[in-house]
Structure 1
Amino acid sequence: MNSKALFDLTASRYMQHANPGIATLTRFMGLETVEHRAKGCYVYGPEGEAYLDCLGGPGVFTIGHRHPAVVEAMHNQLELMALGSHILLDPVMAEAAEKVAALCPGDIQYVFFCNSGAEAVEGALKAARMHTGRPDFVCAQGGFHGKTFGALSASGRDVYKTPFEPLLAGFTHVPFGDESALVQAVTDTTAAVLLEPIQCENGIIIPPAGYLQTAREICDRNGALLILDEIQTGLGRTGRMWACDEEEVTPDIITLGKALGGGMMPVGAFAARPAVWDIFEENPYVHTSTFGGNPLACRAVVSALEVIVDEDIATLCARRGEHLLAGMQQVAAEFSHVIAQVRGKGLLVGVEFPDSDIANLVIAGLIQEKILTAFTLNQPKVVRLEPPAVITEAEIDRVVQVFAQAATGAAELLQL
């Protein structure tokens, strides 16, 4: 079956059995092929059509698609067992927890594995309530923590929240980066403050220097926990192992996901300092997961973390990110009438346009040249660039060149 025929069949199945809106949107954007395989920085169609992946999951494929070390590790684990008994101790999960704890900031020591970032946030919220005995949470406007009920309650864009109201009680949202608003919002009923070190889905928003340190101090003064969501920023993406390393801040709980599974398995986790883990003392089954922490997923975690350390992925993200950011800033200077701002850290870059219509035209232009990207979920006028760390400088130069062409096309079409 050729690529076009397979696309038509797949789109028909989406229309009838999966998500008609996505099928329609894909046709509208001219993406009339399907993904078939992937390697490194590229996603390939059935006939070998090569798309440079600058979306990356988003943020999942930090070490690239199908890294050979992770593929081999998972293949070997499949020869043994994929899922655990939940009765006998699991040495693979224990090894994965040890490796995560060794990389986490400060004295974070204990790890709970689940299947997604949203599940990790749910577990962190439960842990904070149980440990503190307090009901409330303070979060940031524009934040994104997932679309399960608790994670959605903590998140900050109404288009994803309003259809499911009433959401969970006890969540207050303050402007991101506003220290005074945080001071006023945190009280003696606050279980935790939940923040992203960089707001990824709100358009790659970087807070003022010292903001995380201040949040840490506010939590300490009020007896509240600090939860940092590093699901997308963590494991090297921003040029450091953790984005919170920039300010040398240790949260009480940190949430992980995306790159944690090495781009091979859906894995999430929340990890915490020893004091918080008292939640499991009386009842070790107070929070569990059928598939979370399974041997196959944890083998992927072990291998992925080894790659991240051995190949110094954080430094690679920093270097490639500098090259990408510099190139995009040059494009922004040339197209100042079209591009409002370029910002980012490491290989986490956002390009903001005056409105989402321009952003969508630029995305379409990139896709026509077989470069994959998308807008940020909470801020559709921002185009995100999150390629794998294995992207080369030559490939980055191509992205910058095609981005400039797409901006030219959008400006001409809209007569800007």
Structure 2
Amino acid sequence: MQLFNVYSLYPVEPVRGSGNYVYDAAGTEYLDLYGGHAVISIGHAHPTYVEAIREQVGRLGFYSNSVENSLQTELAERLGRASGYDDYRLFLCNSGAEANENALKLASFHTGRSKVLAFSKAFHGRTSGAVAATDNPAIAAPFNRTPNVEFVPLNDIEAVRAKLATREFAAAVVEGIQGVAGIHCPKDEFLRGLRAAATETGTQLILDEIQSGYGRTGRFFAHQAAGIRPDLITVAKGMGNGFPIGGVLIAPHFEARPGLLGTTFGGNHLACAAAIAVLKVIEQERLIENAAAVGGYLIGELRKMPALQQVRGRGLMIGIEIDGSGAEFRRRLLFDRRVFTGGAGASTVRLLPALSLRKRQADDFLERFEATLRQQPRN
């Protein structure tokens, strides 16, 4: 049997990681400015994280959600304190797409409505409901297409108000920062207007913080820069630092009826141990403050480079618009300069490093990036 092709693969296999570096079998060191697609939040192989998983798997790796699990309670309490949402409740699942599926379902149950408002270029996952709210026809099969999801441009508050005024929408779902689209930020005043329009029409506001949350932007959640509180917040990626886990933060006004939501693997003992360790390290090492400081420095230095078309983002969630092929640029950055980065669209280089990135590593990246930029063919 062969693997089903999913992604175009670089001929590089990291076999070991440490902090902000990964290594192949030959021992070649790569500076990791991608973090496995924003998943590595506290750095590769952090000793606190490794020990937490090792200790837990030696005691109990799994039991079903039909019994009490005090690790879930501890995780919910820690996440509530860290995020400022200690009055919300937590549903634990396995991935970002699953978190969005359940958030959409909760909104529909709560309102009795069936329609969802989403935004142009949005990405919310590849499962049925999540991909229906994703503005990418290439990954939405005919089965996923539904008239129950409508799209309007990001930051167009008048378009939002016109749609929600019909009072047909169970939810409006928006990313804290659009990641797959190329790091596009909703304006703070737009998010405040969206919150007001949703409240006025009984629409539940879902903030997809799967990529932009967990300290990445210099706040625990990206939307907190706008001073709003959504009804539902979805999380995953950096939550487990590589161990699969996701969740929905649920406002107090939602009914918690047994059987409304369910999961076999969600919130299992190993996943909770990993997620608790992540929150401990984020707090102890002040990684949110570090993301704000180092990310701000990195964005500022990149914006000084005249050859770049645009630099977008907040904290350590950065999109760099270059003149020419982004894919070819990233390939040369990887093979000539030993730096992992990500892409989004034809000409965007995406940076999603661990929140532990230090200024000296940022300077190292800037030097390698600028050297590659000097060799970039122009359109």
Fold shared, TM-score > 0.5 on shorter chain:
yes
Paired residue type of 1:346: G
Segment drifting more, 311-320 vs 399-408: 399-408
- Who is 2:374 aligned against? 408
- Residue deviations 1:142-184 (CA, integer Å, cap 9, x gap): 11111111110111122222x4445244111100011111101
Secondary structure at the residue paired with 2:54?
Answer: helix
Paired residue type of 1:67: H
Matched, 1:375 2:343: yes
The one of 356, 361, 372 aligned to 2:328: 361
CA contact (8 A) 1:40 1:65 kept: yes
Matched, 1:343 2:312: yes
Paired residue type of 1:171: V
Cα 1:227–1:364 change in 2 (3 A) is same
Cα 1:166–1:209 change in 2 (3 A) is closer
Cα distance in 1 between the residues matched to 2:52 and 2:85: 29
CA contact (8 A) 1:41 1:64 kept: yes
Secondary structure at the residue paired with 1:395?
Answer: helix
Secondary structure at the residue paired with 1:79?
Answer: helix
- Residue deviations 1:373-407 (CA, integer Å, cap 9, x gap): 1212xx33211011112222222112112222222
Cα distance in 2 between the residues matched to 1:259 and 1:108: 22
Cα distance in 2 between the residues matched to 1:252 and 1:242: 14
CA contact (8 A) 2:99 2:247 kept: yes
- Residue deviations 1:176-216 (CA, integer Å, cap 9, x gap): 01111110111311111100121111111112231111111
Cα distance in 2 between the residues matched to 1:406 and 1:311: 32
1:183-332 maps to which residues of 2 (within 5 A)? Answer: 183-186=161-164, 187-261=166-240, 263-276=241-254, 278=255, 280-281=256-257, 284-331=258-305
Paired residue type of 2:169: T
Secondary structure at the residue paired with 2:375?
Answer: helix
1:226 deviates by: 0.6
- Residue deviations 1:320-375 (CA, integer Å, cap 9, x gap): 101211221122x1x1xxx3211110011101135xx5212210121011100121
Cα distance in 2 between the residues matched to 1:241 and 1:170: 31
Cα 1:135–1:107 change in 2 (3 A) is farther
Segment drifting more, 76-85 vs 175-184: 76-85
Cα distance in 2 between the residues matched to 1:144 and 1:380: 17
Secondary structure at the residue paired with 1:403?
Answer: helix
Cα distance in 2 between the residues matched to 1:106 and 1:67: 26
Secondary structure at the residue paired with 2:220?
Answer: coil
CA contact (8 A) 1:105 1:245 kept: no
Cα distance in 1 between the residues matched to 2:193 and 2:358: 37
- Who is 1:38 aligned against? 17
User: What is the number of equivalent residue pairs in this alignment?
Assistant: 377
Root mean square deviation of aligned Cα: 1.7
Which 4+ stretches in 1 moved above 6 angstroms? none
Cα distance in 1 between the residues matched to 2:296 and 2:339: 20
Structure 1 unaligned segments of length 5 or more: list them: 1-15
The one of 31, 49, 70 aligned to 2:49: 70
User: Which has the larger Rg?
Assistant: 1
Structure 2 unaligned segments of length 5 or more: list them: none
- Who is 1:12 aligned against? none
The one of 356, 361, 370 aligned to 1:395: 361
Question: Hey, which of these two has a bigger chunk of helix by percent?
Answer: 1
Cα distance in 1 between the residues matched to 2:119 and 2:87: 23
Cα distance in 1 between the residues matched to 2:253 and 2:6: 46
TM-score, normalised to structure 1, is 0.87
Aligned residues with identical type, % of pairs: 32
Cα distance in 1 between the residues matched to 2:178 and 2:95: 18
Cα 1:223–1:340 change in 2 (3 A) is same
- Residue deviations 1:202-250 (CA, integer Å, cap 9, x gap): 1111122311111110001101111101111111100111111101111
Paired residue type of 2:11: E
1:111 deviates by: 0.5
Cα distance in 1 between the residues matched to 2:144 and 2:253: 33
Cα 1:78–1:245 change in 2 (3 A) is same
Cα distance in 2 between the residues matched to 1:326 and 1:120: 34
1:66 deviates by: 1.7
CA contact (8 A) 1:105 1:250 kept: no
Cα distance in 1 between the residues matched to 2:117 and 2:12: 43
- Who is 2:321 aligned against? 352
Paired residue type of 2:172: V
Paired residue type of 1:344: G
The one of 117, 120, 134 aligned to 1:138: 117
CA contact (8 A) 1:237 1:314 kept: yes
Cα distance in 2 between the residues matched to 1:62 and 1:301: 11
Paired residue type of 1:359: G
